[in-house]
Amino acid sequence: MKYSWNVAREAMRLSPPGQGAFREATTDFVYAGFTIPKGWKTFWTVYSTHKNPKYFPEPEKFDPSRFEGSGPAPFTYVPFGGGPRMCPGREYARQEILVFLHNVVTKFKIEKAIPNEKILYHSSPIPTKGAPVRLQPHKN
């Protein structure tokens, strides 16, 4: 199933399951000539990372062989995030994807209904009030 996982990873590179993440600048820094002050929120997108031609030549091309051998450089392929904040469900998702892929491929013929359908990407919606919640314990 190694090649199947490479196919799944390439699919997630082209259409990442997560949009990205907000981070707060812990110090002032300069990026692309712009000063980002400490405390500002920045939004990093998985999509732009996965489409960077520096790390993925011909970024629009579907090529599962990108993941053979040692694969992409660290933190250039991050559909589940990276580092200490990586999605804790990553391995479960991998197993679920492989089982699903096996069943679909072995039981169905797949054909695109709209062969050249475009995919639009938007940033994640952000609640204006911060999405407060109330937690109450279950009653036994």
Provide the residue ranges of all domains of the chain, joining segments of one domain with +.
2-107
Helix (H) and strand (E) counts in the chain: 3, 4
pLDDT digits (tens, 9 = 90+) for 98-124: 998 988 888 877 677 776 777 665 554
Q: How many whole angstroms separate alpha carbon 16 and alpha carbon 41?
A: 22
Residue 138 has a pLDDT of 60
Fill in the amino acid letter for 128: T
pTM of the predicted structure, to 2 decimals? 0.71
pLDDT digits (tens, 9 = 90+) for 30-70: 999 999 999 999 988 888 889 999 999 999 999 999 999 98
pLDDT surpassing 70 at residue 75: yes
